[in-house]
Amino acid sequence: MRSYKANRVFEGYALGKLAVYSAIKVEKTVGLGKEKEFERFCHAREETVHALDTSYAEALEKLGEKEAALFETHKLMAEDLDFEDAVNAELEGGVTAEYAVQSAGEQLAAIFASMDDAYMKERANDVREVANRIVSFLKKDVKGFEVKEPSIIICDDLPSSELMKIERKLILGIVFVKGGSNSHVSILTRMLEIPSLCGIDGLTVDGTLEGMDAVLDAKKGDLILEPEAQVVADYAKRQKDYEEEKEKLLAFKGKPTLSKDGKKTEIYSNIASSFEAENALRNDSEGIGLFRSEFLYLEASDYPSEEEQFEHYKRVVEEMNPRQVIIRTLDIGADKKIDYFDLPDEENPALGFRSIRICMARPQIFLTQLQALYRASYYGNLAIMVPMIISLNEVDFIKETAAQARANLKARGIPFKEDVKIGIMVETPSAAVLSDLFAAQVDFFSIGTNDLTQYTLALDRVNPNLKEQFDPRHKSVTRLIKLVADNAHKAGIPVGICGELARDEILLPFFVKIGIDELSVSPAYTLQLRKRISEIDTREVRLEEFI
Ligand code: PEP
Ligand code: MG
């Protein structure tokens, strides 16, 4: 028995045999001559394009337009003339088309991988995926990876197209040994609700793993290979209990979130892209508490236009209507760097040029985003939320720019709602301490406990060496949370929590007691929280235990 630590992609358990996915390997051998091999390449490319059309149609049906769009991108890559030139150059050496395609794919992937921009880096995997697909047609290995019985798939990384080809019921779980949790295939995996792990050190994916018994614990983040009988029995029970618990939670679907003594809280969802609204609805979320709009910018290769942003915001707002959708404006900088923003290198990025500070220095970027948001407001219940606030002059700037956005849209004859609520994230000690003053100026608060903890404790939230000390339950943090809630309620505005702490089992009674109006969490936790809150009697909660 061997066990490995991993990161979670989507929670749950899987017990079964491993099915190994590995990319096709090609040896360097002599071909049939340049012309003949080029002909073979053209033919395989045509077949690939045809197969990509099929993948597009499948993804469109199962997951929607945004996810399907990736296959359109792959098609463009397959037909790209630079790619064709690179293949031709390789064929000059008298090699096979298989080898030429694989080498050309690797060369282009290396160029993408060397770029600083996160979006462009991700494209390296796409180029490899397209090249692999062409090679599989050349090798007449079009069936590719096949899963014959329900299995846990293990791979270094899995092309999205391969995942889409496998029947859902044959996938017990997935382990992406080298993958990250934000890759495209990981996002698809979450959409399909497959228990899955990623990022494992010290494990080599090879044929020896094929058919091996394994246990995947994507609640804790463990992969166990060749488990002992007792471990299997133990996990089978955990899995059964987990499934039963999930089943029981269904009783809370469609119900309001009420404590035992009748205090109402709402459970909202945190999402990072418009297609995740579907997940939120499926889990019976009461609204979107945090749409991290910066992902639109992170995924793009240039500033997303007003039109592009509008489409994304409108999609969520329409889908969630009449539920509220709180969209956070650009939160870039610190650990979220984007090439085309051309941000300066900084000694202390977490304390540096980020979020509202960038928006104030480059108001056109903010104005474009606000125009897109106001346009989308017309289609449902949208609210605007601005991160990293420390001073009242920032709120003045937000209001002025919002007025400008409304005036511009009016002049263009575009419909929008005049009374869109504008709130702030309270995620700096400054905003928390001044929350009485902010409460008089804005429509709502949402407490970002991830950053509030980082800045209150002066502890870097992404430093793995400080994991032990990073304590969001620290009384300095809970006291600030209480202060913010009290000031919000005195001014008659709602207050939510959208940091990870929102689903903290221990603090939940405290949050309900102090009247937090809305807790925003990953969609999968919605019903769990609703159940937990139904068991809390706030008359029995003693505040002094928490602050
Ligand atoms: C937070 O800081 O708590 C928050 C929700 O925002 P992010 O994690 O995106 O910084
Ligand atoms: Mg934050």
Could you report the per-residue pLDDT of 494-511, keeping only the tens digit for each? Answer: 999 999 899 999 999 999
Question: Would you give the DSSP letter of residue 468?
Answer: T
Domain range holding 466? 253-545
In a domain, 341, yes or no: yes
Mean pLDDT of the chain: 92
Measure Cα distances from 77 to 59, 148, 160, 284, 418 in Å: 18, 31, 15, 39, 43
Are residues 310 and 327 located together in one domain of the fold?
Answer: yes
Using a 10 angstrom Cβ sphere, with 0-12 exposed, 13-18 middle and 19 or more buried, the burial of residue 91 is buried
Q: Ligand 1 centroid vs 182 CA: distance in angstroms?
A: 16
Q: Is the pLDDT of residue 475 over 80?
A: yes
Q: Is the pLDDT of residue 146 over 90?
A: no
Average pLDDT over every residue of 445-464: 92
Query: Which ligand minimizes its atom distance to the CA of 462?
Result: 1
Query: Which ligand minimizes its atom distance to the CA of 447?
Result: 1
| Site to substitute for ligand 1 among 330, 427, 449, most atoms within 8 A of C-beta | 427
User: What's the pLDDT score for residue 157?
Assistant: 86
Are residues 151 and 191 located together in one domain of the fold?
Answer: yes
Q: Is the pLDDT of residue 454 over 90?
A: yes
With cut-offs at 50, 70 and 90, classify the pLDDT of residue 336.
confident
User: What's the pLDDT score for residue 524?
Assistant: 85
User: What's the pLDDT score for residue 500?
Assistant: 87
> Given the structure tokens 């002094």, which residue do they identify?
544
Q: Is the pLDDT of residue 116 over 70?
A: no
In a domain, 299, yes or no: yes
Max distance between CA atoms of the chain, in angstroms, equals 83
Contacts of 327 (CB under 8 A, 6+ apart): 288, 291, 293, 313, 316, 373, 376, 382, 383, 384, 385
Ligand 1 atom with the smallest distance to the CA of 500 is: 3
With cut-offs at 50, 70 and 90, classify the pLDDT of residue 93.
very high
What is the percent of the chain where pLDDT is above 70? 97
User: What's the pLDDT score for residue 259?
Assistant: 98
Average pLDDT over every residue of 406-417: 98
Confirm if 463 and 441 have CB atoms less than 8 A apart: no
Q: Ligand 1 centroid vs 406 CA: distance in angstroms?
A: 28
Listed in sequence order, the DSSP H helices in 139-196 are 160-165, 184-191
Are residues 360 and 444 located together in one domain of the fold?
Answer: yes
The last residue of one of the domains, among 91, 111, 138, is 138
Lowest-confidence pick of 1-10, 281-290, 334-343, 481-490: 334-343
183 — phi, psi (to 5°)? Answer: -70, 165
Average pLDDT over every residue of 370-378: 98
Could you report the per-residue pLDDT of 12-63, keeping only the tens digit for each? Answer: 999 999 999 987 778 899 999 999 999 999 999 999 999 899 888 888 887 7
Are residues 326 and 287 located together in one domain of the fold?
Answer: yes
Ligand 1 atom with the smallest distance to the CA of 501 is: 3
| Domain harbouring 6, CATH code | 3.50.30.10
User: What's the pLDDT score for residue 398?
Assistant: 98
The last residue of one of the domains, among 99, 116, 138, is 138
**Which residues have C-beta under 5 Å from ligand 2, the single-atom ion?**
427, 448, 451
Q: Catalytic residues, which ones?
A: 184, 498
In a domain, 28, yes or no: no
Query: Which ligand minimizes its atom distance to the CA of 477?
Result: 1
Q: Is the pLDDT of residue 182 over 80?
A: no
| Residue located nearest, by CA, to atom 9 of ligand 1 | 292
Are residues 287 and 336 located together in one domain of the fold?
Answer: yes
Q: Report d(CA 546, CA 509) in Å as an integer.
A: 9
Average pLDDT over every residue of 369-393: 98
| Domain harbouring 363, CATH code | 3.20.20.60
In a domain, 425, yes or no: yes
Q: Centre a 10 Å sphere on the Cβ of residue 362 and count the other Cβ atoms it contains.
A: 13
Contacts of 55 (CB under 8 A, 6+ apart): 71, 74, 161, 164, 165
Are residues 55 and 91 located together in one domain of the fold?
Answer: yes
Are residues 91 and 118 located together in one domain of the fold?
Answer: yes
Average pLDDT over every residue of 516-521: 97
Q: Ligand 1 centroid vs 393 CA: distance in angstroms?
A: 22
Q: Ligand 2 centroid vs 388 CA: distance in angstroms?
A: 7
In a domain, 27, yes or no: no
Using a 10 angstrom Cβ sphere, with 0-12 exposed, 13-18 middle and 19 or more buried, the burial of residue 230 is exposed
What is the percent of the chain where pLDDT is above 90? 71
Q: Ligand 2 centroid vs 355 CA: distance in angstroms?
A: 9
In a domain, 244, yes or no: yes
User: What's the pLDDT score for residue 71?
Assistant: 86
- Residues contacting ligand 1 via CB (< 6 Å): 290, 292, 331, 427, 448-451, 498-499
The last residue of one of the domains, among 138, 153, 179, is 138
Average pLDDT over every residue of 55-80: 84
Number of domains the chain contains: 3
Question: Which one has a higher pLDDT value, 327 or 113?
Answer: 327
Q: Ligand 2 centroid vs 57 CA: distance in angstroms?
A: 37
Q: Is the pLDDT of residue 300 over 70?
A: yes
| Site to substitute for ligand 1 among 288, 385, 451, 481, most atoms within 8 A of C-beta | 451
Query: Which ligand minimizes its atom distance to the CA of 472?
Result: 1
| Residue located nearest, by CA, to atom 6 of ligand 1 | 448
Q: Is the pLDDT of residue 117 over 70?
A: no
Q: Report d(CA 471, CA 481) in Å as an integer.
A: 14
Q: Report d(CA 545, CA 475) in Å as an integer.
A: 10
Are residues 415 and 457 located together in one domain of the fold?
Answer: yes
User: What's the pLDDT score for residue 141?
Assistant: 67
